[in-house]
Amino acid sequence: MTTRLQKPKGFPLVISAPSGTGKSTLCQKLLQRDKTLRYSVSCTTRPPRAGERNRRDYHFLTAEEFKDRMHDGEFLEWAIVHGAYYGTPRRPVEAWVAQGRVAILAIDVQGARSVRRKRPDTVTIFLMPPSWRSLEERLHRRRDPEDVVQSRLADAPLEIEQAKSYDYLVVNDSLDRAVGQVQAIIAAEKLKMFRQDLSPFRVKEEIAR
């Protein structure tokens, strides 16, 4: 009978970026290229943007609904960002990782710190805009109110300052290149020794003795 390595252990993959850097688009491309990945749909109390759909882009909740879930311990992490609540549902992420899947979490720097405290196996990627001007242009293309745009621009330097605490830095100057780099990170992380289950070989070694 042939002894085979078991499937590598799954892990949460956190992708953070200043608003307007393109992390949502990057995550969509990742999911299109690799059907084994699972995307964690966050909950939020902010209103939907044009084109966003409930349960596809976010679970849009009232503040009361969000707080009820928070008090019931349903979030792996939660934070207040730009005046709205955001949170990551705990159960889907834990179930996917237990199945050996990579669970993608597109969350902010506060959430990344919280997830990493709870799950040290988390891999973190900071997605950087190619320039400040490109970030401004992308935010204005969203057609958010000007006060919202200025608030996000004001927060961006503080978020970028946290990049050095992440495992990897990817610059989104070309979407295809950025997606390819994230795929390479995922592939390398899957091969790390501590994620491997060598127990079938250890059992065979004991029998040989």
CB neighbours of 192 closer than 8 A, spacing ≥ 6? Answer: none
Q: Is 40 left (phi over 0), alpha (psi -120 to 50) or beta?
A: beta
Locate 168 and state its tokens: 């990897």
Domains and CATH numbers, the chain: 11-40+101-208 (3.40.50.300)
pLDDT (tens digit per residue) in 124-159: 999 999 999 999 988 888 877 888 889 889 989 999
Average pLDDT of the residues of the chain: 91
Task: Please tell me the predicted confidence (pLDDT) of residue 36.
Answer: 95
Task: Provide the angle, in degrees to the nearest 10, between the axes of the packed helices 175-190 and 23-33.
Answer: 60
pLDDT of 2:
52
Question: Which residue do the tokens 């889907």 mark?
Answer: 92
Q: pTM for this one?
A: 0.86
pLDDT in tens, 19-33: 999 999 999 999 999
| Residue 135, H or E segment | helix 132-141
Give residue 1's pLDDT: 46
Residue 148, classified by CB atoms within 10 Å of its CB into exposed (0-12), middle (13-18) or buried (19+), is middle
